[in-house]
Structure 1
Amino acid sequence: MSPSLLEYLVENEPAFRKARLPALYSDFQTQRTLNPDGYEANVSAWRKALGRIVGSGLAPAGRGAASNLFVLHSDEQLLRALESKQYGRPLALGTVVREALAAKDLVPLRDFLEAKESIYYRPWSVWNLASWTMKQLGVADILKKDSLPPGEFVVVSNVEEAGKAFASQQGPAATAGTRFDRTFSKAHFYKTFNDQLLDGHKLSETDMDVLLRFLSRDKPAILYDGTTIKIQSPTSSSNDNNNEPAEITPEDTSIAQLKELLVSLTHQTALLTARVEQLTAQAHQAVSKSNRVAALAALRSRKLAESTLAQRFATVHQLEEVAAQIERAADNVQLVRVMEASGTALASLNARTGGADRVADVVDRLREQMADVDEVGSILAESAGTVVVDEEEIDEELAVLEGEERKQKEEVEKVAREEREKEEAEKTRERLLAAGEVPSGEVKVPRGQGDKEMEDLMSRMSLKEDS
């Protein structure tokens, strides 16, 4: 076991590369004052390594105990598991555990489960100040032995990782579900979440106790009284009248028990259904072999299984009806609370407005002031005089502008027409030159000649060519 555990650390912990193993397995306690950086690096590497092997399920458990993912069993068995033929045992492991306990990275299991205050609470006292001073001077380490402190210690980093996984798995949709959906018995909660939080690793019962205590006390994500769990809704922590009670109520306990019973009966119906199918197959097989006795026995057993299955289905149906009624009643309670709060809010707002009479007075005063503003505006306009506009003069100015615009368009059209005529004359000259009848020079086509004159000219040119 020990070689595989060390190989696991070498493969999965960057600080446990082979070049560093001699230093990590040495007694580096004296480096605290001689080489503080090296001491801290070694301690940090070992603390991460202990969390890693516990979270992987490879850490040795106590005698007769199940392997835990959150609890480190610190004893001789742990030293033997980490022992190496080449490097021996980790000589400073006791120092590492004590440093982790002082930093509260490791917490004794019993203290973790029984503590009323959060593990993140750090009271500062004279004794803590003196302990911190002695630790900085190295006096506390000199007074302690380097033997491994025995006991069971909660690895806080592993619990925090599971808490984050639980929060991300729930998400806004789950936490905003109904009270029925968010309430569990402890056994039902364990069956639902024991293999869904840490990459398929199953939590032990001890792990589940640690996680529930952490989620309810240190990360108030749930309410927990030892038997019933209720996942907190997004608004459960506020004090509004609309919200659920911030405690486990008898109604929550009843809901949790009902859900657990429903799950159990549903599982039984699945088993009985499979049993009926199995007995039916046995009866067919016996008939095919002409084994009448076996066939009758299978049919009798199937009849009993079917009767039990029908009873289970009837019970499940009744419980589902009860669950639906509970959810409906819870919705009604919430609705009444919302309506009550809304009525209180409306009453408060109406009181702030002063009632209908006060609003009518305000509106009347506003209208009077607006009328005064209009009257003042009219007076000012009369005093300033009125500007008279001569419409005939404006029409004349518009006619002048239109005439100028029209003249500009005519000039543009004239220039364009002359350009076209010039182009046509040039084309005609080129055709005549090609026929050999017109000397090179500018050929002008008299303006106004029709197409007939052009045709006569072209015909004469053609007759000369024929002769």
Structure 2
Amino acid sequence: MTQSLVDYLVENEPAFRKARLPALYSDFQTQRTLNPDGYQANISAWRKALGHIVGSGLAPAGRAAAPNLFVLQSDEQLLRALESKQYGRPLALGAVVREALAAKDLIPLREFLDAKESIYRRPWSVWNLASWTMKQLGVADMLKKDSLPPGQFVVVSNVEEVGQAFSAQNGPIAATLTRFERTFSKAHFYQTFNDQLLDGKHLSPTDMDVLLLFLSRDKSAIAYDGTTIKILSPSDSSNPPEPTEITPEDTSIAQLKELLTSLTHQTALLTARIEQLTAQAKQALSKANRPAALAALRSKKLAESTLERRLATAGQLEDVAARIEQAADNIQLVQVMEASGAALESLHAQVGGVERVEEVVDRLREQMAAVDEVGSILAESAGTVVVDEEEIDDELAALEGEERRVVEERERVAREERERVEAEELRGRLEGVGKVPEGEPMEGPEVEAARAAAKAVKRDVKDAEDLMSRLSLKEGSDV
């Protein structure tokens, strides 16, 4: 494990290049005053490396059954895990941990869990000011030992990363979920979100305690009382602020949801058990093993009876859950209506009532009338001619009549021109036809056709003459 952990740092940490390993594994505490930049670079490299080692699950877990992803176990086992065959143990690791503790990048686990105020609140005091001064002068470092501080320390950067992932996943949809859907028991929350927060990694119970406290106390993303969790919904004008404390109703909802989840899991197991026993019974019959088949069928009947009871209980709980959701919706509706009523009352108070509105409108009308009166007086004093609207209307009508007569005259001239052209065309056609020859009467179809054509020509001639006469009359009248 020792070599694999060192190899992990070389492969995954840019600051842990092989050329940098001698400096990182040396006792670089003397560089604090001689080479401050180099000292801070080494400290920063180790602090990031420790956080990544813990987050990857490769850090020694001590007596814990599973590695913690948020808590660093600082002890002799950590030094052995980081030991290099070529460079030995990191001699300045104690200084790295102390610097991280001073910067609040690492926080003792017990202190983190017991803190009542946010870890981001750091009030200045006389002792803090004195400590800071001693640190700047290098006195504090001389009073401390070079050994690695033992204990369990929360890696704040790891917790912040997962907290941001939780907020990104659940923050946008929290406003669309009901109070029932956003409430969980601690066990149910652990079961629901454990595999969603880190890709392919599971949080230990200690990690979950740290995360829940961080989300509730330091980020105000959830409400948490140690047993019940409620994801807080962002408030807006249509959604009144939600209580940030856990209520007895929240605890009941969480217990109900946990029981429903348990029953759902049990019904799935019982269904699979029934299918298994059915297959066993068929297999026993195929082998002529009647007692085994009967035993499998008896177990199947018991499982079916248990499944039926579980399903009935789950149905009752689902009905209760639906009623709880309905009641919660009613409460929210009443709250919204109450807030809306208060808003309308406030706006109405700002308006001042009907009497004030009528008074404002009357004053406005008076002022508008005064403006008109002042305008009239100024117009008269300036010698402005008052325009007679009736005269304008008469003049407009005369212009429209003149325009209409011009259009009609233009249309008449165009129509007469078309008639003259048609008459000329008809006269040409008549001249081309000529007269029908006189002589002895003839018989036959040709004669009948000729007679019909002659009659048509005569009609055309008569129509042409009438048209020409009308044209002559019109021309004379125009003259």
TM-score when normalising by structure 2: 0.78
**Higher mean displacement: 53-62 or 364-373:** 364-373
Deviation (angstroms), 1:198: 1.7
2:279 counterpart (278, 281, 288): 281
CA distance 1:95–1:395, shift in 2 (3 Å):
closer
Residue 240 of structure 2 corresponds to 242
Which amino acid is 1:100 matched to?
A
Alignment of 1:52 with 2:39, yes or no, is no
CA distance 1:284–1:256, shift in 2 (3 Å):
same
Deviation (angstroms), 1:3: 0.1
> Structure 2: where are the runs of 5+ without partners?
408-479
Residue 180 of structure 2 corresponds to 180
Residue 302 of structure 1 corresponds to 300
Contact map agreement 1:68 1:207 (CA 8 A) in 2: yes
Q: Distance in 1 between matches of 2:136 and 2:359?
A: 76
Q: Distance in 1 between matches of 2:143 and 2:244?
A: 47
Deviation (angstroms), 1:246: 2.1
CA distance 1:210–1:391, shift in 2 (3 Å):
closer
Residue 346 of structure 2 corresponds to 348
Which amino acid is 1:5 matched to?
L
Which amino acid is 2:231 matched to?
I
C-alpha RMSD of the superposition: 2.7
Q: Distance in 1 between matches of 2:189 and 2:399?
A: 91
Task: Report 1:82-101 matches (<5 A).
Answer: 82-101=82-101
Residue 216 of structure 1 corresponds to 216
CA distance 1:175–1:19, shift in 2 (3 Å):
farther
Q: Distance in 1 between matches of 2:43 and 2:288?
A: 76
Alignment of 1:156 with 2:148, yes or no, is no
Q: Residue deviations 1:38-62, cap 9 Å, x none?
A: 1111110000010010000000011
Q: Distance in 1 between matches of 2:397 and 2:146?
A: 115
Alignment of 1:39 with 2:39, yes or no, is yes
SS in 2 for 1:19: coil
Q: Distance in 2 between matches of 1:230 and 1:142?
A: 48
Q: Distance in 2 between matches of 1:256 and 1:61?
A: 32
CA distance 1:86–1:377, shift in 2 (3 Å):
same
Contact map agreement 1:175 1:231 (CA 8 A) in 2: no
**Higher mean displacement: 165-174 or 179-188:** 165-174
Deviation (angstroms), 1:342: 1.5
Residue 329 of structure 1 corresponds to 327
> Structure 1: where are the runs of 5+ without partners?
403-467
Equivalences, count: 399
Contact map agreement 1:216 1:222 (CA 8 A) in 2: yes
SS in 1 for 2:116: coil
Q: Residue deviations 1:53-97, cap 9 Å, x none?
A: 000000001134531000000000000000111000000000100
Q: Distance in 1 between matches of 2:32 and 2:211?
A: 34
Deviation (angstroms), 1:243: 3.1
Deviation (angstroms), 1:16: 0.2
SS in 2 for 1:223: strand
Q: Distance in 1 between matches of 2:289 and 2:321?
A: 47
Task: Report 1:413-452 matches (<5 A).
Answer: none
Which amino acid is 2:324 matched to?
I
1:267 counterpart (261, 265, 268): 265
Which amino acid is 2:219 matched to?
K
Residue 252 of structure 1 corresponds to 250
Residue 28 of structure 1 corresponds to 28
Contact map agreement 2:171 2:233 (CA 8 A) in 1: no
SS in 1 for 2:15: helix
Residue 424 of structure 2 corresponds to none
Deviation (angstroms), 1:128: 1.7
SS in 2 for 1:195: helix
Q: Distance in 1 between matches of 2:375 and 2:39?
A: 87
Residue 62 of structure 1 corresponds to 62
Q: Residue deviations 1:354-395, cap 9 Å, x none?
A: 322333333344445445555666674896233767779979
Q: Distance in 1 between matches of 2:227 and 2:157?
A: 25
Residue 316 of structure 1 corresponds to 314
Deviation (angstroms), 1:223: 0.6
